[in-house]
């Protein structure tokens, strides 16, 4: 018996070949068939897909960005019969070994020294093409396709939500007074990346920073009293978002009230995210909560929610929008009031909402919407028992 030595300079064999995922392959075929039908309806010869979210959707979770938020390194050229990947020699091996193995994609490769656009122009010449550039009708139509998540997407999103929530909540429990926003952001990113979650957005809003800047990320400012931690992460092409608030001592009454208002607005939005409802119908109910607490214009400071999935924002939920909630889609609700944010991701279901970002022994607030109890995350008090909003006689805050 002879033994073939393996060089320590070569990758191990288990990393060279990916097991064929038949369910994923069938889903890719189904999505290609949808695009083939779209081509026929639009009298098009091919589609040119350049955006990472469309690569991820069609491939069932593949990443075309070199594992980060940057530009895609591959373009998809889709005809009724074929799905071609246009990329450079520097990226083709990884794409086909790690992202597209066994999924029926074909390679059109050029040396990395050659502009990929030359290959794109050659294929498009003489054909009627639609591109997914922002602002095109195809860009919007593909967003509609992506929003309806398949069951395998839902399963992957549930898993992502659990681990993303853990990363944020564990950081909230273990970070220390006096650490900088950047240090805490690094702790969140560390926990996310350990679980193969790509950090898309991380916010650490220390001591009321969010009241001035709703889209603040983090800085060298030290956290002395309280902080709001928010993260949006991506894995297998799918996005999820979550926010949590911690306080290093008993929260001041004003902070408690602001957080409770945000939580009640969030619960209202979640409850009324009914399949088939126009966004404006749900928005009007949220607006009534803002008015009820004397903050009618507070929503103007920042976005309140968006449909989330293969893109971090598939569709913004804004006043006056006639777009409709779709059963099987996910929504990241994150209303903010002054210095507080209530952020969680949910699934829109025919039988009712399903909250995905469920906390691990996190203090909760009893909130009632239309007589239904919908507990929402409270402020985590690190040095004293958390103070709760005084409940109504039936046991919770009451919304609409």
Assess whether 298 and 382 both reside in one domain: yes
Range of the domain at 318: 151-398
- Strand duo 330-333 + 315-316: pairing: unpaired
Assess whether 112 and 175 both reside in one domain: no
The domain boundary residue, chosen from 119, 147, 175: 147
The domain boundary residue, chosen from 128, 147, 166: 147
Assess whether 130 and 257 both reside in one domain: no
On whether residue 166 sits in a domain, the answer given is: yes
Assess whether 215 and 132 both reside in one domain: no
CATH number at residue 384: 3.90.230.10
pTM here is 0.91
Cβ contacts of residue 123 below 8 Å, gap of 6+? 46, 77, 84, 86, 108
Assess whether 363 and 235 both reside in one domain: yes
Task: Supply the pLDDT for residue 395.
Answer: 40
The domain boundary residue, chosen from 115, 131, 147: 147
The rounded mean pLDDT for the chain is 91
Assess whether 158 and 138 both reside in one domain: no
Number of domains in the chain: 2
Task: Supply the pLDDT for residue 14.
Answer: 47
pLDDT in tens, 263-281: 999 999 999 999 999 999 9
Q: Are 367 and 373 in contact (CB under 8 A)?
A: yes
Q: Which tokens hold the place of 141?
A: 């139509």
Q: For a pLDDT cut of 70, what percent of the chain falls above it?
A: 90
On whether residue 8 sits in a domain, the answer given is: no
Task: Supply the pLDDT for residue 66.
Answer: 85
Q: How distant, in Å, are the alpha carbons of 193, 288, 345, 350 from that of 196?
A: 5, 40, 19, 31
On whether residue 5 sits in a domain, the answer given is: no
pLDDT in tens, 175-230: 999 999 999 999 999 999 999 999 999 999 999 999 899 999 999 999 999 999 99
Task: Supply the pLDDT for residue 201.
Answer: 96
Position 388 confidence tier, pLDDT thresholds 50, 70, 90: very low
CATH number at residue 58: 3.40.350.10
Task: Supply the pLDDT for residue 109.
Answer: 92
Q: How distant, in Å, are the alpha carbons of 77, 80, 96 from that of 29?
A: 15, 11, 17
Assess whether 250 and 343 both reside in one domain: yes
Mean pLDDT of 163-169: 98
Assess whether 249 and 379 both reside in one domain: yes
Task: Give the span between the Cα atoms of 397 and 389, in whole angstroms.
Answer: 8
Assess whether 183 and 226 both reside in one domain: yes
Assess whether 122 and 157 both reside in one domain: no
- Strand duo 372-373 + 83-88: pairing: unpaired
């Amino acid at each position: 018996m002879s033994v073939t030595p393996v060089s320590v300079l070569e990758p191990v064999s288990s990393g060279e070949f990916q097991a064929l995922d038949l369910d994923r392959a069938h889903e890719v075929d189904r999505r290609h068939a949808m695009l083939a039908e779209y081509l026929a309806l639009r009298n098009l010869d091919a589609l040119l897909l350049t955006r990472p979210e469309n690569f991820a959707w069609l491939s069932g979770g593949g990443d075309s960005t070199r594992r980060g938020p940057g530009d895609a390194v591959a373009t998809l050229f889709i005809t009724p019969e074929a799905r071609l990947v246009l990329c450079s020699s520097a990226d083709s091996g990884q794409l086909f070994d790690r992202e597209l193995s066994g999924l029926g994609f074909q390679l059109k490769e050029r040396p990395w020294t050659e502009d990929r656009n030359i290959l794109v122009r050659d294929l498009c010449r003489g054909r009627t093409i639609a591109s997914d550039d922002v602002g095109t009708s195809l860009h919007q139509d593909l967003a509609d396709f992506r929003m309806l998540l398949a069951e395998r997407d839902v399963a992957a999103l549930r898993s992502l939500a659990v681990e993303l929530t853990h990363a944020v909540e564990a950081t909230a429990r273990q970070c220390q007074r006096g650490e900088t926003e950047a240090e805490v952001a690094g702790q969140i990113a560390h926990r996310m990346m350990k679980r193969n979650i790509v950090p898309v957005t991380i916010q650490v809003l220390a001591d009321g920073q969010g009241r001035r800047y709703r889209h603040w990320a983090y800085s060298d400012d030290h956290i002395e009293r309280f902080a709001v931690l928010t993260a949006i992460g991506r894995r297998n092409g799918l996005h999820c978002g979550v926010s949590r608030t911690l306080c290093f001592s008993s929260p001041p009454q004003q902070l408690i009230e602001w957080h409770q208002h945000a939580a009640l607005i969030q619960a209202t939005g979640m409850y009324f995210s009914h399949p088939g409802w126009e966004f404006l119908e749900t928005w009007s109910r949220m607006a009534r909560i803002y008015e009820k607490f004397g903050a009618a214009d507070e929503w103007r400071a920042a976005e309140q929610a968006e449909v989330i999935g293969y893109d971090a924002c598939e569709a913004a939920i804004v006043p006056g929008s006639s777009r409709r909630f779709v059963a099987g889609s996910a929504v990241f609700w994150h209303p903010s009031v002054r210095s507080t944010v209530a952020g969680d991701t949910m699934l829109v279901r025919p039988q009712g909402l399903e909250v995905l970002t469920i906390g691990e022994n996190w203090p909760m607030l009893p909130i009632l919407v239309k007589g239904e109890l919908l507990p929402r995350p409270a402020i985590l008090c690190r040095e004293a028992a958390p103070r709760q909003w005084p409940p109504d006689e039936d046991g919770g805050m009451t919304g609409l």
